[in-house]
Every structure is written in C-alpha cells, then in structure tokens.
Amino acid sequence: MVQSSYRKVKEEVFHLKRLTLKPKCLDVMAGGLVVVLNAVYAQQNDIYTGYRVILRRNRRELTAMVDLSNDLVKAGEIGLFEEVSKALGGPAHGAVELELTSRPQSIEYIKAKLDGHTLSTPQIRTIIDDTMGNRLSEGELASFMTACYIRGMNEDEVVGLTQSIVATGETLKIGKSPILDKHCIGGVAGNRTSMVLVPIVAAAGCYIPKTSSRAITSAAGTADVMETLCQVSLPIRDMEKQVRSIGGCIVWGGAINLAAADDKLIKVRNPLSLDPKGVLLSSILAKKKSVGAQYCVIDIPVGRGVKLNDMTEARSMARDFISLGKRLGITIESLITNGEDPIGNGIGPSLECRDVLAVLEGSGPHDLRDKSCQLAGTLLELSGKAKKGAGYAIAASMLDNGKALAKFKQIVEWQGGDARKLNSHSVPIGSCHHRIIATRSGRVSHLDNKLLSRIARACGAPLDRGAGVYLHMEKGDMVKAGAPLMDLYAESEGKLEVALKVFNTYEAVEMEKVVLDSLRE
C-alpha cells in the first residue's frame, strides 16, 4: 500500500513538472520520437535519460523520449530530431512546452505477455492506442513483437489485435454487395495475379477494392507494377467512388488511412524479419476488414525459397484464416499453391506488367493465367456468382471474351492512366540488355525466387520500372547448351554490370545433368 501511494504521488509530480524551452532543430533522423536536453539542466529539473515527456507547440502535441547531452544543446534549449520537428509543424520559430508524464499502462501488459500471460482485448487495444499516440518507444514496441513471437497468440488475442488495428484507421463504405478481396502471403517472384483477378471479378458483377503493397525485398509489388500504367495513390473517397461505379480498383494501401497501426507494427518487424504468426494474421485480416470484405481468398504459396516450405505449417495457417474469418464476419477460402518457382516470365515492374496485359489479351504465361483463374473462380463461387466447380470456367471466359481486358482498361483510365493504345508491347522496358545463355544441356530443376528477385533488384527494380529479369524457361524444361535462359534489362550499363556480377555469384537456376542424346530423342 505504501509503495502504491508513493507511485501515485510521484506520477502527480510528473504531471506538474512543466518547462518552456527554446527549440533547436537537429538535422538528423533518430528513428523514433526523441528529444535532447542539456544534461546538467535536465538533472536540475529531475529529468533523466529515458523519461517520457509531452511536447506542445502551436496546438500540436506528441509524446517523446528524453536523451541528454552537454554538447548538442544549452540549458533552456530542447533539441528536436527531424521526426519530432516535423510532427510539431516543422522548424518554425516558437517555444516548446515540455511536461513530464508517467510511463503508459501498456508497458505492464507487454511485460505480462513476455511472461507468458494471455492478453485481453482491452489490454491489446491499450497497447495499440499507445502505439498510435507515440507513447511507446520502438524498443518497447519491439518487445511486444518479440513477446508475440516467443509466446505465441491464441485466437482471442488475434481477433482482439485485428479489431484494434482496424479501429485505428478509416473503413471503406462502398454500399454495394458482394465485396470481395484477395491476399497472397508472398515470396513468389512475378506473382501478379491480383492485376488479372480484379478485372475478372469486377467484370463478373462483383466489387473488389484491392489495396496492394510496394516491394520491400522483392523486385516489384503489385502497386509498383500498376504504377507503370496509372496512379495508385488515391484518396479514400475517390477509391469508394471508383469501386461503386466500375466494380474495382488496384491501389497502394500505404497511401490510404486503413488499419493505420499496421504500418507502425510492420516498421518494427522488418529489421529482424520478425513475423509472429498471430501478428501476421492480424495484419492481413485487418486490411480485409477495413475495406469491408465479405468474401476473401488467401493464396498460401509453399515450397523451397518462399516464406513457407512446410506443408503442415501451411495447412495450419489455412485453417487459422478460415476460423478467424468466421469470427470477423468474412467468409474465407485458403488455397495452398506451389511456390517453388516464379509465376510468369517477367520479374520487375514493366516486365510483370507486360505479362499481365498479355494474359488479359488472351495469351501470356500459362501459369499466370491458370493461377489467376483459380483464385478468381474461388471468389466467384464463395460469393454465389458461380456454382460450385464452375468458377474457373467463368473466370476463364472473362479473359477469352475480352470483358476482363475492357474492365482493366476502365480501371486504368479511372486512375489517371491512358488506356487507348495500351497493350502488352506498349509498356517500355530498360534500354540496356544482356542475354544469359545456358552453358550446358540439362533439365531445369529449380528457379530460386529470392535470388532471381535479387538479380532483378541489382538491375534497378523496382525504382527503375523498366529494369528486371525475363525468363525463357521454367522448372522442368529441357534446355540445350547455347539456349537462352533469361534476359536482363536495366536503364544503365553500370547497373547491368552489377546485375551480371550478382548472377555469377549465386546459382539462381539449378539444372540436372543429362546426356545430349536424350535431348535429341
């Protein structure tokens, strides 16, 4: 009881401590919300490293962590790193009011999770609210991610986290039905099924507000590929109007305030490639819930070189998506697909875009067409637009009769692009080119998704839209010595040379040895 009373008194003192300080902008990014005080001055005011403070200036307010220095700032000054300066309205003149505050309750919940306790939905919501209010340091938020990774999350916690993330952003209000969506957990190079699926589904009379990501470690994300043709950063109200009017859109999710807390959690997870299963499930499902999805198909690629290489783990994840979807009001079907080699021929924004357009035109890579029709057909069956077992045929018919291509061009036009002369050959690619030739005969036994993406990135993708890799073979093909394996495209000779060095360093294409006579047969 004495200790509790002491803590209460101390917190009240914290809230009474207020200082008015002269800002000094530090032209450096700290990687978080951090301010610097003069060490002697701070200690005279009972402020120490790691303390939390509330900052106010020009009607703006934020919470930051304190660091101390006798060199960077003088007594009565406050050093503002770039992130804090921007959050307070930029380097404009004006005193900064500082108020000491106690640490948030969510830290106790994070410690409880580290100790193996299950968190309630209100406790999870408090953590997310403190995250959005910048009341948690990156280290504390990383501890939460670590706790979820080590201790795991039960279904109640995943649902609670999903609902908490959804509550931090806006939600789409299309006012139409059925609302469909699709997601792939990633890892497969060239896997641009969304750009084929969306126009198929919209042409079939459904509504699909597709938000997609940009590349992080891959050669292109769907948003990067779509951006070769039109805008992908749309205001949320424009997105609603577009989907309501023509049935679909393909936009960058990062430009829209949907499930806003997810971006902060991703920023913490990325440096260590830390993907706690429960947090990954929440991240995906929060985006689906935010766009109002009623039906959703999840693509789970499995195999060597992708995120999941264990079939048991893939089946478990598939069941989790279906079960969680029921609790969140979303009917979900999970498809476990082969992720052992790339989909399509192109790897890189423009090259992948050419593949998509070729499929929409009625030709193109057979594996991209087939997988897109599988996913689209499943969605059509889930939503009742197709009878059980008939979805694939309806999806394929939308490609064959040209309705999907017409719908795609309509989407491009709505998003500010010019679709009048758009075709699979009109998308420009890199002017610098080098062909990789097979040095011996054999059967292609493996194409490494990660290494091929690394080569394409060395070419300049995704920032250089025309850069990347074009494959002339796929797993299982027989090739003779001297036959083309792949073409490298870049927008400068220097990047092409770097890409060749990367290709020669790693074995992105593995081949089985065969005797030449067997090839002649």
- The predicted-structure confidence for 37-50, as pLDDT tens digits, reads as follows 999 999 999 899 98
Average pLDDT over residues 170-186: 95
> Are both 377 and 436 inside the same structural domain?
no
Q: Give the Cα separation of 332 and 309 in Å (integer).
A: 22
Q: Which listed residue (238, 275, 370, 477) is catalytic?
A: 275
| Residue 461 in tokens | 């993708």
Task: Assess if residue 214 is contained within a domain.
Answer: yes
Query: Are residues 498 and 457 in contact, defined by beta-carbon separation less than 8 angstroms?
Result: no
Report pTM: 0.87
| Cα torsion 91, 95, 100, 104: sign | negative
- Confidence label for 273 from pLDDT (cuts 50, 70 and 90): confident
> Are both 88 and 147 inside the same structural domain?
no
Query: Are residues 289 and 330 in contact, defined by beta-carbon separation less than 8 angstroms?
Result: yes
The answer on pLDDT for 247 being more than 80 is yes
Query: Are residues 172 and 240 in contact, defined by beta-carbon separation less than 8 angstroms?
Result: yes
- CATH number for the domain spanning 306: value is 3.40.1030.10
Please say which residue of 380, 414, 448 terminates a domain.
414
pLDDT for res 170: 93
> Are both 331 and 455 inside the same structural domain?
no
- Confidence label for 299 from pLDDT (cuts 50, 70 and 90): very high
pLDDT for res 102: 83
Query: Are residues 398 and 200 in contact, defined by beta-carbon separation less than 8 angstroms?
Result: yes
Among 186-200, 254-268, 320-334, 449-463, which is the least confidently predicted range?
254-268
- Confidence label for 513 from pLDDT (cuts 50, 70 and 90): low
Measuring CA to CA, which residue among 491, 213, 449, 182 is closest to residue 338? 449
Q: Give the Cα separation of 398 and 300 in Å (integer).
A: 24
> Are both 366 and 459 inside the same structural domain?
no
- Confidence label for 18 from pLDDT (cuts 50, 70 and 90): confident
- CATH number for the domain spanning 78: value is 2.40.40.20
Q: Give the Cα separation of 412 and 427 in Å (integer).
A: 13
Domain that holds residue 25: 2-101
Scored b (16 or more CB within 10 A) or e, 355-388 reads bbbbbbeeebbebbbebbbbbbbbbbbbbebbee
Task: Assess if residue 270 is contained within a domain.
Answer: yes
Q: Is 275 a catalytic residue?
A: yes
